[in-house]
Chains A and B, each alone.
Chain A
Amino acid sequence: MRIEAIRESAGLTKPFLEQFLNYVLNLLQGNFGNSLSSGRKVWSMISAAAPVSFQLGLCAIILTALIAIPLGLIAGLNQNSKLDYTILGSALFLWAIPPYVAGPLLMVGFLLVLPGINMPYGWGGIFDAKIILPLIVLSFQPIALIVRQTRAAVIEVLSEDFVRTARAKGVPETLVALKHILRPVLTPVVTQLGLIMITIVNGAIFVELVFGLPGLGRLTVQALTNSDYPVILAITLIGSFLVMFSNLIVDVLYPLLDPRAADSMKGR
């Protein structure tokens, strides 16, 4: 039978453990196997799609940091004010709207303003204006996450004695905020990088689908529709690797941000 032949050639008739070992051995040689649906090498499919996703993700992280940290700082410094409630409420709202809801809705809005001329659909490179909308949608949830983290950290630092010392020294309020509050706040916030990566990898699946971007996310969805396991597995491995890599970066950065950690590491 044909199916049997395919199973045979794909090695699926061998015992599970042997299949697994073969897969791992191949992986170690940089061989992700072949796609079940197209027969192409998984690796070449991924290397075609990855640059799109990586550029998108990197820009989303930068956008998140630039927007969320200042907003969180402002909210925390004005705790329980109208401004704080507005920022916090918007963050809760953004956090609750999944990208597959935000994307289409924003696209509708976009169409209403600029009918049909420049649909933000498809990939024209990272410097193409079409990328703005997907980038914003992809950043919504990470922004919400970091705004809340930053705000909570600011409120905690505000009650620290050393902030009072800074004020008692006559340091101007803006510099108190930047040097004595923001600086210590960055330490716990940066440790959230891994969490942000997870949010972005998840979000990219939907954003790329909705906006027709040829990245790893859309590849995932196509692979899902075709039950293309080798591709799904390869993308999952890459995603996990990315998250672990970000956590590694955090571990390397942490002593630079917190001298106490640097010392305890030297001591080890």
Chain B
Amino acid sequence: MTERLLEVKDLRIEIDTRRGPATIVDGINLHVDAGETLGIVGESGCGKSLTMLSLLRLLPNKIRVAGGSAAFQGSDLLKLSPRELRETRGGKIGFVFQDPMTSLNPVMRIGDQLSEPLIHHRGMSKADARKRAGELLRLVGIPGAEARLDAYPHELSGGMRQRVMIGIGLACEPDLLIADEPTTALDVTIQAQIVDLVKDLRKRLGMSVVWITHDLALIAGLADRICVLYAGTVVEDAPAEQLFAGPAHPYTRGLLASIPRMGGAETERLASIGGTPPEPGRRPPGCPFAPRCALAEDICRQVVPKLASMQGGSAAHRVACHVTSRALEAA
């Protein structure tokens, strides 16, 4: 039995609007085992980033956690003291953000940006941290690593900048690395390089990875397990091979059907699913996907389906759908 590293339960996130609070993330349950790579997939705007940001209390203004828990190494991330929170951020959990253009401080040398977590978590001196920063740059595959320490972000290409971001996330050898669409802003060839880099590092450092993406194809060879999010809820959670072999949720099937569009814009509508996800605060009473679902029945429009293992299927393959779970049962 593998060890649970992170277990998120019933996480709810709300945003303050002029008409009062609106739910963005509606009771998400997910977990990450030690050494495991979890892929989180879903259309843009379904709450992937906010879910992960909320764990380290990095939510933007007006957006807050409204309930739930996130057990991580024996304590609840959502209840950490400011000091524990600081030790966790960058120390135990590393973060890699989507846009390497804006996520690095433009007026700070990258050596200094890489040194910061080392100085604050490891208590390293400036000189030691700088040496280690050079090693990190080599680790993430930046040619002429030491020479780049004094460069500013704008002097590097997008791919190089994302490597620096990954270096920052890995600086303190965290137990968990959260990568939020780290390749979306990059060219297709660079995307593959970054995926390979993380694959390689994950093995070497023995850490768990949460990789957020809207692109199922990208994580096919990377994730051990995949969570599919729709409108702030988990609709399917399965080991990667099982998900690709037999997707159970109509939404996942739609995602898979539209796969050969690697590198397409994030906003691109799903080819095989008409319509758009519900806006926060305007979710339908039943299954949030029902209005777009070809298989929807009356019950779907009234009762929210629970995430449950499919009877007759693997226990690890769970889906939140009235219709397909029943169909499998009958089969």
**B49 → A minimal CB distance (Å):** 11
Q: Which of A22-30, A135-143, A226-234, A252-260 contacts B (4 or more CB under 8 A)?
A: A252-260
**B120, A168: Cβ atoms under 8 Å?**
no
**A257, B91: Cβ atoms under 8 Å?**
no
Using CB atoms, name the residue of chain A closest to B118.
A169
**Residues from 222 to 268 in A contacting B, C-beta threshold 8 Å:** 257-260, 263
- Tell which of A164, A179, A260 touches B103, judged by Cβ atoms closer than 8 Å: A164
**A257, B107: Cβ atoms under 8 Å?**
yes
Q: Which of A37-45, A144-152, A180-188 contacts B (4 or more CB under 8 A)?
A: A180-188
A263 CA / B121 CA spacing, docked (Å): 33
**A179, B120: Cβ atoms under 8 Å?**
no
**A161, B107: Cβ atoms under 8 Å?**
no
**A162, B88: Cβ atoms under 8 Å?**
no
**A184, B89: Cβ atoms under 8 Å?**
no
Q: Which of B94-102, B192-200, B287-295, B312-320 contacts A (4 or more CB under 8 A)?
A: B94-102
**A263, B97: Cβ atoms under 8 Å?**
no
**A180, B105: Cβ atoms under 8 Å?**
yes
- Tell which of A162, A168, A260 touches B56, judged by Cβ atoms closer than 8 Å: A168
Contacts between the two chains (Cβ within 8 Å), count: 78
Hey, what's the 0/1 contact readout for A169-199 against B, CB within 8 Å counting as 1?
A: 1111001000110011001000000000000
A164 CA / B121 CA spacing, docked (Å): 17
Q: A residues within 8 A CB of B105?
A: 162, 165-166, 180, 184
Judge whether A167 is part of the interface by a CB distance below 8 angstroms.
yes
**A170 → B minimal CB distance (Å):** 4
**B58, A164: Cβ atoms under 8 Å?**
yes
**A169, B117: Cβ atoms under 8 Å?**
yes
Using CB atoms, name the residue of chain A closest to B92.
A170
**B140 → A minimal CB distance (Å):** 16
- Tell which of A166, A167, A258 touches B107, judged by Cβ atoms closer than 8 Å: A258
**A162, B102: Cβ atoms under 8 Å?**
yes
A165 CA / B60 CA spacing, docked (Å): 13
Size category of the binding interface on chain A = 20 to 34
**B134 → A minimal CB distance (Å):** 18
Using CB atoms, name the residue of chain A closest to B86.
A170
Judge whether B244 is part of the interface by a CB distance below 8 angstroms.
no
**Residues from 213 to 257 in B contacting A, C-beta threshold 8 Å:** none
**A184, B107: Cβ atoms under 8 Å?**
yes
Q: A residues within 8 A CB of B168?
A: 165, 169
Judge whether A160 is part of the interface by a CB distance below 8 angstroms.
yes
A56 CA / B51 CA spacing, docked (Å): 55
Q: B residues within 8 A CB of A257?
A: 107
Q: From known contacts A166-B105, A170-B89, A183-B107, infer whether A259 and B154 are also in contact, taking CB-CB under 8 Å.
A: yes
A8 CA / B104 CA spacing, docked (Å): 69
Q: From known contacts A162-B102, A162-B103, A260-B154, infer whether A168 and B108 are also in contact, taking CB-CB under 8 Å.
A: no
A187 CA / B152 CA spacing, docked (Å): 16
**B103, A183: Cβ atoms under 8 Å?**
no
Using CB atoms, name the residue of chain B closest to A167.
B58
Hey, what's the 0/1 contact readout for B167-210 against A, CB within 8 Å counting as 1?
A: 01001000000000000000000000000000000000000000
A117 CA / B106 CA spacing, docked (Å): 55
**A165, B88: Cβ atoms under 8 Å?**
no
**B89 → A minimal CB distance (Å):** 4
Q: A residues within 8 A CB of B117?
A: 169-171
Hey, what's the 0/1 contact readout for B94-133 against A, CB within 8 Å counting as 1?
A: 0101010011111110000000110011000000000000
Q: From known contacts A161-B97, A179-B108, A183-B107, infer whether A170 and B120 are also in contact, taking CB-CB under 8 Å.
A: yes
**A124 → B minimal CB distance (Å):** 43
Judge whether B90 is part of the interface by a CB distance below 8 angstroms.
yes
Using CB atoms, name the residue of chain B closest to A164.
B58
**A169, B107: Cβ atoms under 8 Å?**
no
Q: B residues within 8 A CB of A167?
A: 56, 58, 89
Q: A residues within 8 A CB of B90?
A: 168-171
A97 CA / B107 CA spacing, docked (Å): 37
Q: Which of A168, A187, A258, A259 has the most CB of B within 10 A?
A: A168
- Tell which of B87, B91, B104, B107 touches A165, judged by Cβ atoms closer than 8 Å: B104
Hey, what's the 0/1 contact readout for B72-94 against A, CB within 8 Å counting as 1?
A: 00000000000000111111000
**B182 → A minimal CB distance (Å):** 13
Judge whether B268 is part of the interface by a CB distance below 8 angstroms.
no
A180 CA / B105 CA spacing, docked (Å): 7
- Tell which of A161, A168, A259, A260 touches B102, judged by Cβ atoms closer than 8 Å: A161
Q: From known contacts A170-B117, A180-B105, infer whether A165 and B97 are also in contact, taking CB-CB under 8 Å.
A: yes
**A172, B89: Cβ atoms under 8 Å?**
no
Judge whether B155 is part of the interface by a CB distance below 8 angstroms.
yes
Q: A residues within 8 A CB of B165?
A: 165
Q: From known contacts A169-B120, A170-B90, A172-B86, infer whether A162 and B104 are also in contact, taking CB-CB under 8 Å.
A: yes
Hey, what's the 0/1 contact readout for B46-63 against A, CB within 8 Å counting as 1?
A: 000000010010101000
Residues of A within 8 A of B (CB): 159-162, 164-172, 175, 179-180, 183-184, 187, 257-260, 263
Residues of B within 8 A of A (CB): 53, 56, 58, 60, 86-91, 95, 97, 99, 102-108, 116-117, 120-121, 152, 154-155, 165, 168, 171
12 pairs of residues in contact across A and B, judged by CB atoms under 8 Å: A162-B102, A164-B58, A165-B105, A168-B58, A168-B90, A170-B117, A171-B117, A172-B120, A183-B107, A184-B105, A184-B106, A263-B152
Top 4 A-B residue pairs of the complex, sorted by shortest distance between their CB atoms? A170-B90, A169-B90, A170-B89, A168-B95
